[in-house]
């Protein structure tokens, strides 16, 4: 009977520890996902510019295609996305991008510049 008591106490302790652990696991808020999605969008826009320049393709056309694609993806997740850009070329290509990404009452609004020189 004494051994059974120890087994029951051990099971209760394990259950208690499991309950404590589950209460301290942090849940990601929609704002956390918003920030992660904003960073993903910004990084993908930068990659689109870099790959376009390296491959000798039209930066404007590739940005338009990617923006259209990302708007569809984010719309399915109930995000509001607005991306505008301007391109200045010369020895260095400079792309100024304005991003608005919103979800419910939270949003990110940012402007950044991607400046790249490609040597042949």
User: How high is the pLDDT of residue 2?
Assistant: 64
Residue 4 forms part of a structural domain = no
Radius of gyration for the alpha carbons in the chain, expressed in angstroms and rounded:
25
Cα–Cα distance, 90 to 105 (Å, whole number): 41
Q: What pLDDT was estimated at residue 88?
A: 93
Q: What is the total count of domains within the chain?
A: 1
* β-bridge mates for residue 113, sequence order: 96
Q: What is the pLDDT of residue 30?
A: 56
User: Could you read off the pLDDT of 85-117 as tens digits, one per residue?
Assistant: 999 988 899 999 999 999 888 888 999 999 988
Per-residue tokens: 58? 């039209």
15-19, 33-37, 112-116: lowest mean pLDDT where? 15-19
- Is the per-residue pLDDT at 52 higher than 80? yes
The residue range of the domain holding 79 is 30-116
Residue 14 lies in a domain: no
């Amino acid at each position: 009977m004494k051994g059974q008591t120890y087994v029951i106490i051990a099971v209760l302790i394990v259950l208690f520890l499991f309950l404590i652990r589950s209460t301290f696991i942090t849940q990601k808020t929609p704002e956390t996902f918003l920030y992660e999605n904003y960073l993903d969008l910004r990084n993908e826009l930068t990659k689109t510019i870099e790959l376009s320049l390296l491959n000798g393709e039209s930066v404007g056309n590739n940005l338009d295609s990617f923006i259209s694609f990302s708007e569809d993806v984010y719309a399915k997740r109930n995000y509001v996305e607005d991306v505008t850009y301007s391109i200045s070329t010369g020895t260095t290509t400079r792309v100024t991008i304005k991003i608005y990404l919103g979800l419910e009452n939270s949003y990110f609004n940012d402007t950044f510049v991607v400046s790249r020189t490609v040597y042949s």
